[in-house]
């Protein structure tokens, strides 16, 4: 039962977010042979001013070894 949470800066339209969610679901179906009905996707907008405190420090930095795609930016 894959559940994906995408955190991004505000800006994308509702249509763009819906298309992103659809692409994520298709990727699970195609790559892992999941059933479409088993995949859920949430999208959370995080302001640039809150990114470091609410996303980078608690979720990205301490989990670098587990990230299959690491960020290409240096926040420091």
Active site (catalytic) residues = 2
User: Rounded to a whole number, what is the distance in angstroms from the first to the last CA of the chain?
Assistant: 36
């Amino acid at each position: 039962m894959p559940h994906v949470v995408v955190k991004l800066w505000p800006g994308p339209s509702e249509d763009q977010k819906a298309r992103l969610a659809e692409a994520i679901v298709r990727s699970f179906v195609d790559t892992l042979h999941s059933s479409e009905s088993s995949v859920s996707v949430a999208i959370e907008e995080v302001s640039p001013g809150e990114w470091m405190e609410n996303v980078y420090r608690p979720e990205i930095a301490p989990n670098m070894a587990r990230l299959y795609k690491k960020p290409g930016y240096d926040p420091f």
